[in-house]
Chains A and B, each alone.
Chain A
Amino acid sequence: MTAGIDVRQFVKRDRVHRDIYEDPAIFELEMDRVFAHAWVYVGHESQVPNVGDFFCANIGTQPLVMARHTDNKVYVLHNRCGHRGVQVVNTQQGNAKLLRCMFHGWTFRANGEVAGVTQPEGYATDLKLDPVAYGMPKVARMESYLGFVFVSLSPTGPSFKEYFGGALSALDDLVAYAPDGEVELTGGVLRYAYPGNWKFQADNSCDMYHVVYSHESSRKGNTQYIRRPGDAGGIPFFDNSNKVVTFDASGLWAFDGGHGWEGAVTQSHGNNAPWYADYVALLEKKHGPERTREILTRKRHNSIFYPNLVIQDLNMHVRLIRPIRVDLTEVVIFPIKLKGAPNEMFLESVRMLNTTNSAASLTQADDVEAFARGHAGLRTKNGNPWVLIARGDGKEENDPVYENGLRTFGSSELLLRKQYASWLNWMTQEA
């Protein structure tokens, strides 16, 4: 039992209950049990490149700030004053020598410590204004992996490596695309919202079953529209018979914790563009032809790091899922730039992100429509309260390439079953 609600009744092996999408009490529990305990993505170190840079983020509904201190390290702080709890940083990003609370003028360093208390003589001498205890609190645990910053707001629980395990290979392979071996998040931000639960977006992040139906309007013949100049076609939906969906063959990988990815939907990432040969040459110069071939054998389309981070290989970007209310979710898109790669590669990616992931997208709008109608349909309480996630049940097999990795066909709902097993695990933890 968790605060009067037995959440176990809501998750079966092959189905989950509509209440977990619609009940505000369960949403509040999730903000604590899932978002304040699991390892959750906050941002990338490249968003705060210089000392004094800060960037605001959220874990669930809690405000955080990621900042770079004078020791050149990145810290993630709860965005509240040590005095009366007022939110200290009020702009999305910027640079400041000290973070200053507007209410009574207390100032803080980027590592959270109090820099100055105004009129300190007003406090009793026995109240020791310890700079840490009265600072902006640091999050309980933080891990930066290849610049991607994750935090857990709980001091206990599985370690970062235990939680993500073999799924971290998706980040290893991502940075390997960069000739300089590093990526940065730059090129602006796109934000869209939908009236529905955050899990609709998490569910859909690696769903290869919906594509040909939800996105039918952006299909021309057997393929979606062309994403890169020089390509003969877009993402193939069907094989030449126009009957068999191609995504099953590209596969799906899933891990304990609810992480995983879709197999690559196309091997062309602008391979016919004029700059592509230069890009390959840059990789070969660093790694030699064999390793370069291995790097460029695309393995993934979307990867999810449950619960809130999705990374796409094709139009490279980070997608961050931000729950606001039980029935309102924001999704934030950050383009990924491969350091050392020809700039044209990044420009093409930006150009296509406008069409795929902005609020005015040609494809995302249909996903949002599905989420909104999901929220509308799941107001159904009588009749059938269940959401079926049974597709491909039992068809998965071990993939020895990845630590504890499972592989199955592309349109399987295996990853959903893994996500809800993870969800139930967090939700039934002792507080």
Chain B
Amino acid sequence: MFGCAFWQIMSLPTDVVDYILSFLQVPDLKSCAQSHPLLSKLVERHLYSSIILLDAPLYPYARDTCHLYLRISQLIKRISDNAHIANYVRNLTIYVTNDFGLFRSTNLEDILPIMPMFSQLRKVTFSDDTGRGLSWQRLSMKFRSAFFSTLNQQPLKDVSIRHISDFPLSLLDNCETVRSLTLHRCSYVYHEDALHISGSTTLESLSIRDCDEASLRSIIAWVQTRRVRSLEFLQRFRLLPQLLSGCVNSLTDLTLDFYHESASCIFLIMGFWS
């Protein structure tokens, strides 16, 4: 019965099967890949399109079904066996779970040889989940350099930096194709030479969440050199007027989170009563 259904599916035009596969989530794609070598080939493009790369094991409950979770060593092995799968990666998240304060992890450097192979990358996310926040300056020069090269790859449109401190916005100064930037829970974001950049590059969307005041001031200076169309501001409104004045001529879409503004008042009241 399964075989009959399988051949019925495979008798459809390839682009139709491909379209159907585009709706499946990772567990279903994995099941398809295991069912038949032919289907496995068709599935690869979707299975590897969005990868979350870990430097340590992640608790299963923390995983979602939209991304393929792989340890760095697993991805290296798969790419060394089938180099072409690197071309399928559109969305790559590098997720640091090792605490650099306790372990001088070299795992991140293991990824360096394969990073240039992601030639079709559209989105890259660099995120820390140690709870301490990872300092960009404490990463090795080799990794920082490789990440910078990735930012300059032609198809890359979307950059997301989460829970990283000391991230230099100047890394993005010459990335002409980057259209979307996310800075969530970043501290001490800085920009060395904001005044010497011409303000012509369009940034379709900028998302800021829980960044410290020093970072916000740097972002405000940097925004003067960009034409920001869409701004998502998910934190207290302090310094928002200055940020708005930085994108006065280009902003068409604004997202605000009032809960952040009122939450502090609520917690203040709760603290007062307790």
A and B: interacting chains: no
